[in-house]
Amino acid sequence: MSKKIKILLCSDDDGLMVKTIKSVISNKGYEENIVLVRDQHDADTIAKEIVDADVVYPDKAMITREMIMSAEKVRLFQYGTGYDTIDLEAAGERKIPVCNMPGITAQSVAEHARDLILALARNDRDYGEEMKGGKWNRGVGIELAGKTLGLIGYGNIGKIHARIAHGFGMKILAFRGNRERGNEGLDFVDIVDFDYLLENSDIVSVLLPLIKHGSCKTERFIGKKELIKIGGAGLGWLINTSRGAIINENDLIESLKNNIIKKAALDVYETEPLPENSELRKLPNLFLTPHIAGDTKEALVRRYTLIAENAIKVMNNKKPQYIVKELESVFD
């Protein structure tokens, strides 16, 4: 007789997620009950389904203390990269592991950051669509060779981003919290202090995790003062593929309106989905994508496979991979 497992997925899955998870789970002899909640703001449905779930993938859905305390069977909260939408203290009290997936989307995010830079370098235009529409509007772009890229954050994504940019002939500066770790063998990367990076980069790319509390807080890490420094250096371009709340959005809007930041490209926002009436949608010097940096087929398969593998581990009373650092001591 097969064992049963209920997995609650907060996702607008197009089929690949459920297909991948089902395949892994069934191959391990489990009968899966996968519940898909497509609207991640539907707190009532999530609260109802979480009560008897074994594993929860919240993605960007808020998981409150009340939900955690009512989740009688939950053995795992599995996230992708960011896990800023769950009450970690409550999860720790219940001794429910919260895991993420460091590095699992790093290649995809780094490649998307590259694409955003290229979009700005070629004037943010879809020349293909213009040509199909009968137009012949030529523009003058810029070369990336010789320009300086500043990486705020130098983890898995940052190192791949640096290698890609180096291939374009760019100079690379990087800021990291633990400067003693150096450039980790990438001799073409200079590890510098924060202000030096802001004041000496043509393009600044934000790659930090969102941390809302404590000495390593990154929420609103970049505001008016930092934007003025970025805008006063070189090209004055800003890229964000990390989390929207790391940049003060109102300050960014004003900086773009006043041409302090000359150009920016964002994949992430303080509020997602981005409201239809957001001022960000109206700025001519801003290029936008809808939080898709980590969404390549390869990265998604790796992500969904890990969800299933960690689910099997906790169902067999084994420690899952990548418990978040805030809760590591609870499960040592």
Catalytic choice (243, 249, 270, 303): 243
Catalytic choice (75, 112, 176, 291): 291
Fold of 106-288: Rossmann fold (3.40.50)
Per-residue pLDDT of 31-86, as tens digits, reads 889 999 999 999 999 999 999 999 999 998 999 999 999 999 999 999 988 888 99
Tell me 302's DSSP state: H
- For the cut 80, the answer to whether the pLDDT of residue 298 exceeds it is yes
Known catalytic membership, residue 213: no
pLDDT at 172: 98
pLDDT at 2: 60
Residues 6+ apart with CB under 8 A from 214: none
- For the cut 90, the answer to whether the pLDDT of residue 199 exceeds it is yes
pLDDT at 123: 87
Known catalytic membership, residue 181: no
Per-residue pLDDT of 238-282, as tens digits, reads 999 999 999 999 999 999 999 999 999 999 999 999 999 999 999
Known catalytic membership, residue 125: no
Q: Which residue has the higher pLDDT, 329 or 159?
A: 159
Is the preceding omega at residue 273 within 30 degrees of 0, hence cis? yes
Task: Name which of 21-25, 82-86, 285-289 the model is least confident about.
Answer: 82-86
For the residues of 4-63, what is the DSSP string, one character each?
Answer: EEEEEEES---SHHHHHHHHHHHHTTEEEEEEEE--TT-HHHHHHHHTT-SEEE-TTS-B
User: Where along the chain do the CATH 3.40.50.720 domains lie?
Assistant: 3-103+296-331, 106-288
- Among 8, 3, 9, 10, smallest CA distance to 26 is for 3
Instruction: Give the chain's end-to-end CA distance (angstroms, integer).
Output: 33
The encoded tokens of residue 145 equal 């060779």
- For the cut 70, the answer to whether the pLDDT of residue 1 exceeds it is no
Catalytic choice (184, 254, 272, 309): 272
Rounded Cα–Cα distance for residues 221 and 248 (Å): 8
* Architecture (CATH level 2) of domain 3-103+296-331: 3-Layer(aba) Sandwich (3.40)
Task: Name which of 1-5, 152-156, 161-165, 232-236 the model is least confident about.
Answer: 1-5
